[in-house]
Amino acid sequence: MAVTYPTPGGGAARGPSRRGIARIRPWLLLAPALIILGVLLLWPLVRMAMFSLQDYGLREIVSGSTNWIGFANFTEILTSRDLWAVVLPNTVGFAVLSVTGTVVFGTLVALLLQSLGPRTRGFVTGAIMAAWAMPAVTGTYVWVWIFDADHGVFNQVLTSLGIIDQPVNWFTDRWSFYAIVLLNVIHHGFPFVAVTVLAGLLGVPREIHEAAEVDGAGAFRRFFQITFPQLRQVFAVVIILSTIWDFKVFAQVYLMPGGAGSNRDVLNLGVWSYVESFGQNRYGFGSAIAVLLTLLLLVITAVYVRTILREEKNL
């Protein structure tokens, strides 16, 4: 990666003022982006950290005054029963299940796609793209409609098969609630995994596979001993990106019946932070939850960046 580009603005013979411009040109080009990112992403992050150390409510928002209380918000969160019994399992446990589900299912789909002829593969890939393109908001509403208690197709099918006698409300129970969220998230997330892994699979030379087959290696063994090691970087990126996305699941929970705070059993970190802030006007407490979520994601991001750096070194 040691390519050195000639200094653009090039003509060195054109006088000192032009060279001065050439030196600051990258900063001129970057300035608008840096100002926007600074004012609208970095400064808000700093403010979030400041709010998290205050009892920041409607009064403070209106008057703009401060109300420092040290780490009281964090103590309240970390000693709250909600966090350990409900919110953290709903966040971390769900992320683990959905990442596993998405990656395993996506990889299986990629293997299936690889074994198809080019025309079928193109067609199926196009169909998968449709699932990917469905916005989270409308996708969630469609799943809610499918599992709707009164007229949903899921209850109708179960009733007509005689498995249940009466329509069941699947949204009140924590487990069935999150099973629907899981279905929604996997359905929406597996296309990215499938397409990315497929791109990697098509890059593995066929000859290696055929040689292994001649030597008598089964399909299972070929996958874990040849394909998987070759695609280690692809899998690392796919897993970490899915983890980051699945920790941040918000609309998929918030828009479900009871998901907006009325059913406290189904809160996750993001929704908890939101309903404490905008529902109870406890912006300081909500910020403290958001700080915890951000720190959690920061750790995962650090792993992500290190993986990418290692990958670039290998190229």
Partner 1 sequence: MRRTSTGVKATKAVLVVLLLAFTLFPTYWMLVSAFDDRAGQGGATLVPREFTFHNFSYVLTDGGFGTFLRNSVVVALATVVISGVVALLASVAVARFRFRFRTQMLMLILVVQMVPLEALVIPLFVQIRDLQLLGTLTGLVIVYVSLALPFGIWMLRGFVAAVPVELEEAAYLDGASWTRMFRSVLLPLVAPGLVATSIFSFITAWNEFIFAMTLLGGEADKYTVAIGLKSFFQQNSNDWGAIMAGSTIITVPVMVFFILVQKRLSAGLVAGAVKG
User: According to CB under 8 A, which residues from 173 to 202 bind partner 1?
Assistant: 187, 191, 195, 199
Cα angle for residues 136, 139, 140 (degrees, 5° grid) = 85
Among 88, 97, 146, 236, binds partner 1 (CB under 8 A): 146
Contact flag: residue 151 with partner 1 (CB under 8 A): yes
Backbone phi, psi, residue 68, to 5°:
-70, 135
Q: Which is nearer to partner 1, 174 or 248 (CB)?
A: 248
Q: In this structure, are residues 220 and 148 in contact, taking their beta carbons and an 8 Å threshold?
A: no
Smallest gap from Cβ 44 to partner 1, in A, equals 4
Task: Give the tokens for residue 154.
Answer: 């899921």
Q: Which stretch binds partner 1 (CB under 8 A): 45-53, 71-79, 172-180, 223-231?
A: 45-53
- Total number of residues that touch partner 1 (CB under 8 A): 98
Contact flag: residue 61 with partner 1 (CB under 8 A): yes
Q: Which is nearer to partner 1, 182 or 271 (CB)?
A: 271
Smallest gap from Cβ 162 to partner 1, in A, equals 18
Q: CA 149, CA 167: separation in Å to the nearest integer? A: 6
Write out the binding residues for partner 1, residues 279-298 only, by CB under 8 A.
Answer: 283, 286-287, 290-291, 293-294, 297-298
Contact flag: residue 145 with partner 1 (CB under 8 A): yes
Q: Pick from 100, 99, 121, 118: which is nearest to 109 by CA?
A: 121
Among 58, 85, 116, 208, binds partner 1 (CB under 8 A): 116
Contact flag: residue 205 with partner 1 (CB under 8 A): no
Q: Pick from 108, 300, 65, 83: which is nearest to 57 by CA?
A: 65
Smallest gap from Cβ 21 to partner 1, in A, equals 8
Contact flag: residue 26 with partner 1 (CB under 8 A): yes
Contact flag: residue 149 with partner 1 (CB under 8 A): no
Contact flag: residue 1 with partner 1 (CB under 8 A): yes
Q: CA 234, CA 135: separation in Å to the nearest integer? A: 25
Among 4, 63, 160, 166, binds partner 1 (CB under 8 A): 4
Smallest gap from Cβ 175 to partner 1, in A, equals 21
Q: Which stretch binds partner 1 (CB under 8 A): 71-79, 86-94, 139-147, 223-231?
A: 139-147
Q: What is the dihedral of CA 72, 74, 77, 79, to 10 degrees?
A: -70
Q: Which is nearer to partner 1, 47 or 264 (CB)?
A: 47
Backbone phi, psi, residue 10, to 5°:
5, -75
Contact flag: residue 32 with partner 1 (CB under 8 A): yes
